[in-house]
Amino acid sequence: MPDVVSLIRVKRDNTRPLTDAEIAWLFAAYAGQTVADEQMAALLMAIYFNGLTAGELRAWTTEMIASGETLDLSHLSRPSVDKHSTGGVGDKVSLILAPLVASCGAAVPQLSGRGLGHTGGTLDKLESIPGWRASLSNEELTRALADPGVVIAAAGAGLAPADRRLYALRDVTGTVESIPLIASSIMSKKIAEGTQALVLDVKTGSGAFMRDQARAGQLARTMVALGAEHHVRTRALVTRMDTPLGRAVGNALEVEEAVKALTGEGPDDLMEVTFALAEHMLELAGLTASPAEAIASGRAFDTWQRMIRVQGGDPDAPLPAARHVRHALLAPETGWITGLDALAVGIAAWRLGAGRARKEDDVSHTAGVRCLAKPGDHVRRGQPILELHADDESRFAPAAEALEAAGTVTIGSAPPPRTPLVVSVISAADVADEVGA
Ligand code: URA
């Protein structure tokens, strides 16, 4: 029988790959409490430094999936396809995309976690809708996937429970930022959810979890390879996250913008990413409907309304609004905005109350930031670029402080060139040599 200290040494010294049997033993022993959190933390740190081979990663992910239940969606009459984003500032794409793709004939089983840090969570956004609830039983979930064909709900405790413990441990031991650990964490939950196809939006840039484009690409390739190994048709888009997506950042503010997008009034950058992801999702699902037509005809908006009602929400109820609104970030000179830093805006929204620092914190539904001007817009010196929303006035000063750093906004004498937001697309064929390596 393996002993955990030897396995930690093997990984620490990088002497050889761990075997499938050793990894299976490790997960069983961790679940059975014979491997302690501090031992697992030491192993995670060794993995952080030395990585996992493709074989180790395959076994690691398999054990994460096997730690809980897996849903079977094969009985659905619609092809299932899901989307996951690594998270960005103002990233409300899921709110639009899930009903949009369902209105084109797919079943979209979007099971999500809560937002942490400066990027918001989809469930937190939807909870700003009066009455809407995130928790559904498996029966309710299956019913919603048959009609209206979409569900955005909290992932139940039964899906990949090993990830819950490991993620909490990584969070407090400085081992979150490891590509194999992130890839296995995200993919184990998506594979356990039972989707037949998956499109990943891996964000890169100042407001992203993976700031560096090369590392974002590596994470994308690793996840696509894991999906293929587990027979989930998977594709990844690496997309830019240097500036907030759309103009709204914060829960109710983002829902309001998503509803506008579903009725054909979405900002260009938000729709560029949404349509790109929708087209890949529909292709993987074998569907040929047009996402633009689904919006123009009102089908996507109708699916949104039904999706909200199925989960107890009132899509016609007014969204909550903040008690206090204040202008911030005055243009330092007259000219064209060439940059508006996503991270600074994300931190400001978070400090206003839109996000949580710890899992157990509450979020404010009304707090956030509205971008009055964005890159490509012309501004006059002194013109406010942002509007801050908060219920508690004491939140304004720390939020404004996050926006003070040089470079939060940059102004030029000409509009910036328009760069496509989709940097690259990674398909299973691109990582065929990595699968099962
Ligand atoms: N999101 C996850 O679900 N897991 C990670 O490890 C990082 C982000």
Per-residue pLDDT tens digits of the chain, which is 437 residues long: 789 999 999 999 999 999 999 999 999 999 999 999 999 999 999 999 999 999 999 999 999 999 999 999 989 999 999 999 999 999 999 999 999 999 999 999 999 877 667 777 999 999 999 999 999 998 899 999 999 999 999 988 899 999 999 999 998 999 999 999 999 999 999 999 999 999 999 999 999 989 999 999 999 999 999 999 999 999 999 999 999 999 999 999 999 999 999 999 999 999 999 999 999 999 999 999 999 999 999 999 999 999 999 999 999 999 999 999 999 999 999 999 999 999 999 999 999 999 887 777 889 999 999 999 999 999 999 999 999 999 999 999 999 999 999 899 999 999 999 999 999 999 999 998 775 44
How many angstroms separate the alpha carbon of residue 182 from the centre of ligand 1? 5
- What is the rounded distance in angstroms from the CA atom of residue 300 to the CA atom of residue 430? 32
The protein residue with its alpha carbon nearest to ligand 1, atom 8, reads 182
- What is the rounded distance in angstroms from the CA atom of residue 411 to the CA atom of residue 112? 37
pLDDT attached to residue 112: 86
The protein residue with its alpha carbon nearest to ligand 1, atom 1, reads 186
Q: Is 97 helix (H, G, I), strand (E, B) or coil?
A: helix
Give the long-range contacts of residues 133-136, CB within 8 A, separation 24 or more. 133/311, 133/312, 133/313, 134/311, 136/311
Q: Looking at ligand 1, which atom is closest to the CA of residue 182?
A: 6
The fold for domain 81-316+422-434 equals Pyrimidine Nucleoside Phosphorylase; Chain A, domain 2 (3.40.1030)
Kindly report the pTM of this predicted structure.
0.96
| Residues known to be catalytic | 84, 163, 170, 185, 189
pLDDT attached to residue 437: 40
- What is the rounded distance in angstroms from the CA atom of residue 362 to the CA atom of residue 345? 20
Residues having CB closer than 6 A to ligand 1 are: 167, 176, 181-182, 185-186
The protein residue with its alpha carbon nearest to ligand 1, atom 2, reads 186
Backbone angles phi, psi at 181, to 5 degrees: -75, -40
Mutate to test the pocket of ligand 1, among 176, 182, 191, 226 (most ligand atoms within 8 A of CB): 182
How many angstroms separate the alpha carbon of residue 111 from the centre of ligand 1? 13
| Alpha carbon distances (Å) from 137 to 9, 110, 151, 195, 204 | 43, 14, 12, 17, 35
The fold for domain 324-412 equals Aldehyde Oxidoreductase; domain 3 (3.90.1170)
Residue-wise DSSP of 153-195:
EEPPTTSSHHHHHHHHHHHTTT----HHHHHHHHHHHHHHTT-
Domain layout of the chain by residue ranges: 4-50, 81-316+422-434, 324-412
Q: Looking at ligand 1, which atom is closest to the CA of residue 185?
A: 4
Note the helical H segments in 268-323: 268-285, 291-296, 299-310
Burial class (CB in 10 A: 0-12, 13-18, 19+), 211: middle
| Alpha carbon distances (Å) from 19 to 4, 41, 142, 162 | 13, 19, 37, 19
How many angstroms separate the alpha carbon of residue 185 from the centre of ligand 1? 6
pLDDT attached to residue 42: 98
How many angstroms separate the alpha carbon of residue 183 from the centre of ligand 1? 7
The protein residue with its alpha carbon nearest to ligand 1, atom 7, reads 182
- What is the rounded distance in angstroms from the CA atom of residue 186 to the CA atom of residue 166? 12
pLDDT attached to residue 282: 98
Q: Looking at ligand 1, which atom is closest to the CA of residue 186?
A: 3
The protein residue with its alpha carbon nearest to ligand 1, atom 5, reads 182
- What is the rounded distance in angstroms from the CA atom of residue 43 to the CA atom of residue 61? 16
How many angstroms separate the alpha carbon of residue 416 from the centre of ligand 1? 33
Q: Is 93:100 a contact under the CB 8 Å cutoff?
A: no
Q: Looking at ligand 1, which atom is closest to the CA of residue 113?
A: 3
